Structures are given as C-alpha cells and as structure tokens.
Chains A and B, each alone.
Chain A
Amino acid sequence: MSSGQFVMARCGTSYDPLLRRALSLHHQVRTADGSSTAGFLFGMGKTWADWLSTRRPGDEIDLIGPLGHGFRRDKGARHLLLIANGLGVAPLVSLAEEGVASGANVVLIVDSATKDGLYPTKRLPAEVEIVALTSDGSSGRQGSALDAFAELQPWADQIFLSGGRDLIEGVRSTLKRAVSGQPVQAIIEERMACGIGACLGCVVDTKNGRVASCVEGPVFDLRSLSA
C-alpha cells in the first residue's frame, strides 16, 4: 500500500455496524522476504472501533483494498511539510516514514484541542521534526496548525494536508498571499458506503467534474479541487 491509500474494513460480524469503515494506511513495515505489515489508527468510542480494538493477534480482519490514490512525493522535493488536525495525522505518519527513508527533511505540524489528542511523538522516526499545538496550550505551543503553517510555509518544497475544511481553506489563503506556490496535496474525507466507486456517496468537486473520492482520491492536488 502507499500512504494516502485506504482499506474498507469490516468491523464486526453483525448489522451494527452495517457498513465497512475506511481506514487510511498509518504505518507500514516491509520485511526482507517481501511481505509487509500495515498498521491502522482509529479513535475509540464507537461500536466499530471498540470491536476492532478487542481483536487479538492472529485474528483475521476482512479488508477490501488497497483503495484509492496515495500521496505522490515529487522527485527532488527535499523539504516535506506535513500538516494534520487531530486524528488526521494517521496517513501522514506513514508518509513521514517514507519521506525520511528517502532522505528528505520532514516537518510534521499536528494540532489538537488538548494534549490528550496529540499523537505520541515517540512513534515517529527520530528524524521527523514535530511541531505540536494545542488550542488550550496544555502541550506544545498554543494555537492551531494553521498558525505554524504560515511560519513554515516558505521552507517547504511540497505540502501535504490531512484535516478539515478550515485547514484546507486556511492553507489556500496563505498560499495565495505567499510569493511561492508550492505543490499541495490534501487527503479529503467524505462519508463512504461502498468505498470502490459504485454508490457515488463520497463525491468531491474537481476541475474534472464531480468525482468519487474513493477512486479519484482520497488524495487530491489542492489546485484541482473546485473552490
């Protein structure tokens, strides 16, 4: 799988939950014999998440995938700026790992309401520079990911976003005002049912029309999205 891709996971054996859940690739370990282990990150508190969290090593999970298009790192992009709101950090961890492995400098900006929502930094490669912000100032700087982005934007060769509409709009405005317009990719999250392009539930408006984000995305070039 590549960072930004996802699987549709069956998170139970009953009609609750009925639908599969989309899980982005969070972590990937390739072994010498060619096999790999994929890791997924999710928040607790819903029936589907609690069920997944009680699976034991050796249990099988029914997945459809890998699905969608992942992030594309430009050859020659040495300064990668990754920005996430809360749990949106999940796919960016895998991207950060790939970036570091290829020798790039990676900065990850992540924000959360409080320190409890911040991703544990020890799970990231040591080479990744982490800028953590909380709205209440309980850990790291007080502020939002957008505040840190404005400062670090000039440094970046390529920018990768994983968060809400406010983050995407905020990055757009900052780039409009900036001198340089770096390439930006954003992972767009829409509610899904099928995950494979049949139901048209998860559409996104792009310059090429209204497309299923599970097939044409979920990673999109920010400039290809309609305003």
Chain B
Amino acid sequence: MSTAVNLAPGLPDGLWIKHPVLMASGTFGYGTEYDGLVDLSSIGGIVSKAVAAEPRLGNVTPRVFETPAGMLNSIGLQGIGVEAVIRKKAPIWENIGVPVIVNVVGESVDDFCVVAERLEGVPGVAGIELNVSCPNVEGGMLFGSEPGSAARLTAAVRRRFSQPIMVKLTPNTNDIVAVALAVEDAGADSICVANTFIGMSIDIKKRRPVFAAGSAGLSGPAIRPMALRLVYEVAKFVTVPVVGCGGIATTDDALEFFLAGATAIQVGTMTFTEPRTAERIAAGVQKYLDANHLGSIAELTGAANPEFAGRSQTVAR
C-alpha cells in the first residue's frame, strides 16, 4: 500500500510526494514559520508564499477577517521577491525534507516569465504553482478568468521552465472547465482547483467595507462544497492530475475530494486553527486505504465520478 502520488506524470522525473497532502500557498509562509508545530515528514509537500519578480508591500491592514466557518483575506501578495527567495529561502528548502513548490505571481506575462526563468534549476525548488488569480495589468481581468489568457500565460512559462508546473485556477470565472482544458493543453503538469472565492464584509459601525480594496478572498470550510463541485467538474475533462483545494479540514473532507477526482489535496486556512490538520489528514488517508484494502490513492481518485477522465497515474513506489 502506498500513499505516494505523482503530480507531474508527463515529465520523466515526475513530482512524487509521499503523502497526497500539500500545505497551500499563503498559509505556510516560506516553510519554516511553523517549526516545532508541524512535522513535515508526515505530509507530502509545501507550496510557498507567492513570489513575484520584485518585492511587494501588499495591502494595508486589516488584511484578514473571520466569517462564518471561514475567513476573508486581502493580504495583497506581500513578498520578498524572487532574488531574495533564491538567496535566503531556497537553501533552506534543500534540506527541509519535503518538496517545495514555489507559487508564482505577476502583473504581466513577462513578470511571471522572469520568476520562472530565475527559478529553473535552483536547488530546493521542486516545481512552481502558477497563480492565475492575479489581475493582468493589461485589461485588469484575472489571468485565469478566461481560457485564452490563462493558456497564453501557461504556454509562455512552459517555454521557460522545464520542471513541474501546477496551474492554480481561480473559481471566479464563468467556465472553469474551459480554463482547465486550455492550461492543460498549454503544458500544465497538474491543475489545482481552486483558489479563494471573491467576497466582502462591511463594517456597520464605520459604514464602509472592512477591506480598503473592497473585496477579498474567501476561504475555509464555508467554500468546501463549491470547491469540491469544481474539482468534480474539471476532473471529468482533464487528464493531468487535479489537486483539490478549498476548505478541507478533515480526513473525510479530503476523501470527498479524492473521490471527486483529485489526485492530491491542499490544506490552507485550517492550518491556522489546527497546525496539525495536514498531518492528521495524511495519517487518516493512510488508515482509510488500509481499512478498505486499497493499494494506492489511484484506486480512490475519481471513484465517485463516473465521468472521471484522468489516467490512472499513481503507481506505488
């Protein structure tokens, strides 16, 4: 029995993770902030905080706000920039014990390409996650809001980066399946479904939005049914691995996502509440496989989805 999965079956070396559970971008810093609270050897890998070509200050506070079974965030992609990441973070990642996937952001296709080129071959970097929830400075639309722009971005990065590329889709789009197919076609090794949903809150005492930017990203258990349904739909069409993300808090939640068609899942917001969530889910999934006499995650992936399109690509190592 093996809980290992391959997030890049299309590449010769693939991207193998020991457990099908990753720490989601933006919730686990650069991987060391939870030292002593999380046992990294018990999870599959980490997706780093968003990395841009230049350092970014991000938004003013307040940046976080709790909502029923969830939270809104408007961090604004504060970050130290790719040069500082290569100098100060990648050396740590070489010895951290699990694969680190770098989340990449930008305001233009060129921005993303600069980061991808710089990260190619850097020891400690196992792959990148393309954050297409960013607004394109040309036109203001999110890169991931329509298939053409998402595909152009993915193709441009694919030409400059030979290691695994996971494209993290935004749910704030009319046709996420079309976007998913477009990025798969453009060279994505796997697809993460999905990033936060746009929402807001208003301060009734001050009579203005809580966040300076107005809207913010909603995450946490409240969005789980919506994220799950998007995984289910996307998994009917794409053949690359789908990585499920959105409000996963327990082993049962994770199992829903595997059954819907996910090959792996990410845990984000729930880590704030219970740092050991990802470890507990990894252990819970292992126990479930044992108890149900399943040899691998592949036997679970898409089992509740009659139209699941993915190839069986997880082979016990």
Contact = CB atoms under 8 A, between A and B. Distances in A.
A19 B61 contact: no
Given A15-B221, A19-B66, A194-B27, A199 B73 contact: yes
B288 to A, nearest CB: 22
Nearest to B28: A198
Interface string B187-201: 000000000000000
Nearest to B29: A198
Contacts of A79: none
A194 B272 CA distance: 5
A190 B61 contact: yes
Given A196-B33, A199-B73, A210-B57, A191 B62 contact: yes
A19 B71 contact: yes
Contacts, number: 88
Contact of B37 (A191, A196, A204): A196
A16 B68 contact: yes
Interface string B54-95: 000110011111101111010100100000000000000000
A204 B274 CA distance: 25
A20 interface: yes
Which of B29, B58, B68, B272 has the largest count of A CB atoms less than 10 A from its CB? B272
Interface residues of A, number: 24
Contacts of A199: 26-27, 29, 64, 73, 75, 272
Interface string A10-44: 10000111111000000000000000000000000
B27 A191 contact: no
B70 A18 contact: yes
A175 interface: no
**Interface size band for B:** 20 to 34
B220 interface: yes
A48 to B, nearest CB: 9
A197 B273 contact: no
B10 interface: no
B78 A196 contact: no
B37 A64 contact: yes
Interface of B: 26-29, 33-34, 37, 49, 57-58, 61-66, 68-71, 73, 75, 78, 220-222, 249, 269, 271-275
